[in-house]
Chain A
Amino acid sequence: MSKDNQVLAEITSKEYEHGWTVNLETDSAPKGLSEEIVRFISAKKNEPEWLLEWRLKAYRQWVKMEEPKWANVSYPANNYQDIIYYSAPVQKVKPNSLNEVDPELIKTFEKLGISLGEQKRLTGIAVDAVIDSISVATTFKDKLSELGVIFCSFSEAVREHPELIKKYLGSVVPMNDNYFAALNSAVFSDGSFCYIPKGVRCPMELSTYFRISAANTGQFDRTLIVAEEGSYVSYLEGCTAPMRDENQLHAAVVELYTMKDAEIKYSTVQNWYPGDKNGKGGIYNFVTKRGLCAGDHSKISWTQVETGSAITWKYPSCILKGDYSKGEFYSVAVTNNYQKADTGTKMIHIGKNTSSRIVSKGISAGKSQNSYRGQVQIMKRASNARNFSQCDSLLMGDQCGAHTFPYIDVENNTARIEHEATTSKIGEDQIFYCLQRGIGEEAAVALIVNGYAKEVLSQLPMEFAVEAQKLLALTLEGSVG
């Protein structure tokens, strides 16, 4: 192993930062999945009958479905009967304000650098904190409600805004969309709901912070964002998990719905526990994210920085139904050690003059495998649709892999589609050039990688861009090649 490779190995072998555990008292369902468990979850959450029926319907469909095998990832079969589908930190009383939230929980989030105290307004970000299956706190709710913005946990939305949930739940990702979406629909526990009324530009970033805490537990969260005509919201999602030897399943569903002239900007910094250096443990991240540009001139923009998880299977997509609607997908996916990522997007052009832009930057290090999988579909009615795709792969070291699977499907000959792809290696020449200018090896890798990912990182809200830059450097620490 050359010296550069050694440093590369050191950088990539940096320990996971958020791997600590806390002893939270939890209220859990017994292991395994059955109609009884679905009923148990629904009962625990005091859900109305219609939602229980919806879950059961999803469960019955899921039982008949098969786990997809087409992704470029391999893993031992999940034993769905060996997972706990509901786990909630016990809170003695239902908190009415942050002061009543279990201090252990607040500490947990403070450790993650997330302040649930509203007095710390510096960040100007409203947070919904979800631990295991339950939303524990949502900040700035009152301030947002003055504008008519609803930002609360999914469970609360079911209680307080049933008409909205009934209308939009499953409207973008049908319950039987795919295996993991069906599973989520049956057993989803909590998540965030966000509603921006007509003409409102949400004045702060909304964010949900997910953490898996309990062992042997799956996390099945669900996010639904509805942007009414002419509204705008920027939303951020973050996630971490303790280091555990066993693999844990995270199967989430995110649905975005934009009306005429509305825009949703959805950013993710995904940092689930990726497993150790030898590939033991880590989160299986099987996520369905989709946005519907229902109205004309609406826009959905996905930005993701994917650094965590043992396995990532996710394709944030846009259905461009409204005329002149616009979809964007910006992604940086970093894999290291034995991580496997199969991620990308789908842009489905239905409306006229719709446009989409895909910028995907994969970075592979260690013995990892990183795949981009994307589909651009231009339907018959979608005249003058345009797509631009750029898929770049960066390899660090010589034991990793990068793969690109673009699918293009055009049914209207007025479409204009461009696809560019490159594969490069962090060169020893590039590193040496930096070294010769006095820049240390780790700083050099960080510089090169951040330069490579710049186009995507610049899409993130400022605070998170800085965070993401650090995370990239951290993930690759020890992996110069």
Chain B
Amino acid sequence: MLTIKNLQAKVAEKQILNGIDLQVNAGEVHAIMGPNGSGKSTLASVLSGREEYEVTGGEVNFLGKDLLEFSPEVRAREGIFMAFQYPVEIPGVSTINFMKTALNQIRAHRGQQALDAVSFLSLMKEKMKLVEIDQSLLNRSLNQGFSGGEKKRNEIFQMAMLEPKLAILDETDSGLDIDALRIVANGVNKLRNKNNATIVVTHYQRLLDYIVPDFVHVLYKGRIVKSGTKELALELEAKGYDWIKNEVAAV
């Protein structure tokens, strides 16, 4: 589904990614871990098309298309979803209205008709149930006055609504207590299927107890320095990132 080859990127004249290679297939969950400043969030931002991040080399192929050619909104319409580390507040715009606008623009991109009010509502009800979110929250201004947990749950609700092919969860566990973490992870797990894929970007192993990855990659100084299965995450938890740093230094 997603093939990243030798991806390099910089932000504000600072080179952050120094050649990332990654292959993600449908049905897989990949975890990207790494110490602060290793380039995890940059990778998520580059994939979603944030303009401050300049790609300086390499290529990204998504479902047979050159992803880097697309504007952020087209990437989203092609099936890339990012759950934000810091979801943004938009006063006066309810989540419902926001989702209706988004869904219909995505549908238009795919040559589908806009959903009528009844179908939209029933889709919404179904997804609300799935991610255990209350409608009163969805009627309020997007993310305004939401608690950290509510914001993240709202992200997962949006993900459920838009049914992306590739979801990128950027530090979704930050600022969550254990109950919220469980609900969010539950939602993500319910949305997993053999046709979609998930990239979980996280600093801590904790989230991976709930969202169990097929592969774990360790990012350090803008490169993937180690890949493995979920056991790698546990090893990291036990030994700390210094272990990786020392290993890289030794090479």
Contacts and interface: CB of A to CB of B under 8 A. Distances in A.
Interface of A: 2-4, 427, 429-430, 432-441, 443, 447-448, 450-455
Contact of B98 (A2, A429, A447, A452): A447
A450 B49 CA distance: 25
Contact of B105 (A427, A443, A452, A454): A443
Contacts of B199: none
A474 B106 CA distance: 22
A265 to B, nearest CB: 22
Interface in B93-129: 93, 97-99, 101-103, 105-106, 109
B73 interface: yes
A144 B54 CA distance: 65
Contact of A436 (B76, B91, B92, B97): B76
B99 to A, nearest CB: 8
B90 interface: yes
B87 interface: yes
A4 B93 contact: no
B142 to A, nearest CB: 8
A434 B99 CA distance: 10
A455 B77 CA distance: 31
Contacts of A2: 51
B90 to A, nearest CB: 6
Contacts of A443: 101, 105
A438 B102 contact: yes
- Interface class of chain A by DSSP: helix
Given A436-B48, A438-B76, A448 B162 contact: no
A438 B98 contact: no
A451 B90 contact: yes
A448 B93 contact: yes
Contacts of A451: 90-93, 97, 141
A430 B90 contact: yes
B204 interface: no
Contacts of B245: none
A443 B72 CA distance: 14
Nearest to B106: A438
Given A433-B87, A436-B48, A452 B92 contact: yes
Given A438-B76, A438-B106, A439-B73, A4 B92 contact: no
B93 A437 contact: no
Contacts of A441: 73
A447 B93 contact: yes
A248 to B, nearest CB: 34
